[in-house]
C-alpha cells in the first residue's frame, strides 16, 4: 500500500508539478476560503474573497463587527451565502471566545485536540476542519474530498463505501508524516479529479491508467464490444 500511494503521488507530481496550495495571503484567508468553498467551485470563492478584501473586511475582528446581511451580500458569489455567513461567524465567534481572536494561539494546540474542537463548530465538517488544520495551521493532517474517494476507489485501493475516517487513515498510516507531502498530495488529487477522473472519466489521458482497476475493466469491456461488433459484421 505504501508503495502504491507513493507511486501514485510521484506519477501525479511528475505530470502536474507543484500546485502551490492553498491560495491565500494569510491563515485567516485560508480559513475563510475553506468555509466558503463548501459545495462550490473555487472561482466563486475567489470572487467572494475579493469582495471582502475590497471592503477591507478580511479579518476576524472586522467581520465580527459587520452586519451579517452585509457579509452575506459580499460573499454571495460563493453560493448558500446566508448559511455560509452563519458558518463564518460561528468560526469567528469560537476564535474570539476561546483564543481572543488569535489564530496563532488556536494553532498552538495539538492537531487531534483542535480537530475535535473545530468539528464542534456548527457548519464545520471533517473536510473543512482538516483543510483548516493542514493549510492554515501547517498540521500533518490528510484532507479527504470527493475526488480522493472517487480516484482511489476506481483505482482499486478503497472500497466505494469507505467512510471519511477510513480513507484518511489509509493515507495517514501509509505515508510519511509530512505537512509538505499531505499539502501537495491533496492538491494533486484535486487536479487529477478535475482534469481526468470526472464522473465520465478521461482514462486515456490519465497518468494513473496503467495501474487503475476501473481503466482496465473499461479496456476489457471495450475490446469485448469490438469483438462482438466484428462477429456481427462477419455474419
Map grid coordinates 503521488 to a residue.
Answer: 9
Instruction: Write down the least CB distance from residue 118 to ligand SF4, Å.
Output: 30
Closest to ligand SF4 by CB, 62 vs 194, is: 194
Instruction: Write down the least CB distance from residue 33 to ligand SF4, Å.
Output: 26
Closest to ligand SF4 by CB, 105 vs 202, is: 202
Rounded distance, CA 64 to CA 10, Å?
A: 43
Q: Computed from CA positions of residues 185, 188, 194, 196, in that sequence, does the dihedral angle turn out positive or negative?
A: negative
Closest to ligand SF4 by CB, 76 vs 216, is: 216
For residue 199, CA distances in Å to 73, 116, 151, 153, 165 come to: 33, 32, 10, 13, 23
Q: Enumerate binding residues for ligand SF4 (CB under 6 A).
A: 151, 154-155, 196-197, 201-203, 206, 208-209, 212, 214-215
* Helices assigned H by DSSP within 17-163: 27-36, 42-54, 60-64, 68-74, 81-99, 103-106, 111-119, 126-131, 146-155
Closest to ligand SF4 by CB, 172 vs 203, is: 203
Rounded distance, CA 52 to CA 72, Å?
A: 10
Closest to ligand SF4 by CB, 9 vs 80, is: 9
Amino acid at each position: 500500500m505504501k508503495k502504491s500511494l507513493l507511486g501514485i503521488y510521484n506519477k501525479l507530481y511528475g505530470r502536474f508539478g507543484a500546485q502551490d496550495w492553498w491560495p491565500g495571503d494569510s491563515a485567516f484567508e485560508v480559513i475563510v476560503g475553506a468555509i466558503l468553498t463548501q459545495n462550490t467551485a473555487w472561482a466563486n470563492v475567489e470572487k467572494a474573497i475579493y469582495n471582502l478584501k475590497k471592503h477591507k473586511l478580511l479579518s476576524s475582528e472586522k467581520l465580527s463587527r459587520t452586519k451579517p446581511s452585509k457579509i452575506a451580500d459580499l460573499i454571495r458569489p460563493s453560493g448558500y451565502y446566508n448559511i455560509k455567513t452563519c458558518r463564518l461567524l460561528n468560526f469567528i465567534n469560537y476564535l474570539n471566545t476561546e483564543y481572543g481572536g488569535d489564530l496563532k494561539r488556536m494553532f498552538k494546540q495539538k492537531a487531534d485536540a483542535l480537530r475535535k474542537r473545530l468539528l464542534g463548530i456548527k457548519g464545520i465538517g471533517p473536510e473543512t476542519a482538516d483543510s483548516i488544520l493542514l493549510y492554515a495551521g501547517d498540521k500533518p493532517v490528510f484532507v479527504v474530498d470527493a475526488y480522493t474517494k472517487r480516484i482511489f476507489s476506481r483505482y482499486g485501493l478503497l472500497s466505494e463505501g469507505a467512510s471519511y475516517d477510513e480513507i484518511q487513515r489509509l493515507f495517514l498510516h501509509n505515508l510519511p508524516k509530512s505537512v509538505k507531502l499531505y499539502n501537495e498530495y491533496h492538491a494533486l488529487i484535486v487536479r487529477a479529479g478535475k482534469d481526468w477522473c470526472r464522473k465520465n472519466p478521461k482514462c486515456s489521458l490519465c497518468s494513473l491508467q496503467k495501474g487503475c482497476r476501473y481503466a482496465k475493466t473499461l479496456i476489457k469491456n471495450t475490446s469485448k464490444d469490438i469483438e462482438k461488433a466484428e462477429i456481427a459484421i462477419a455474419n
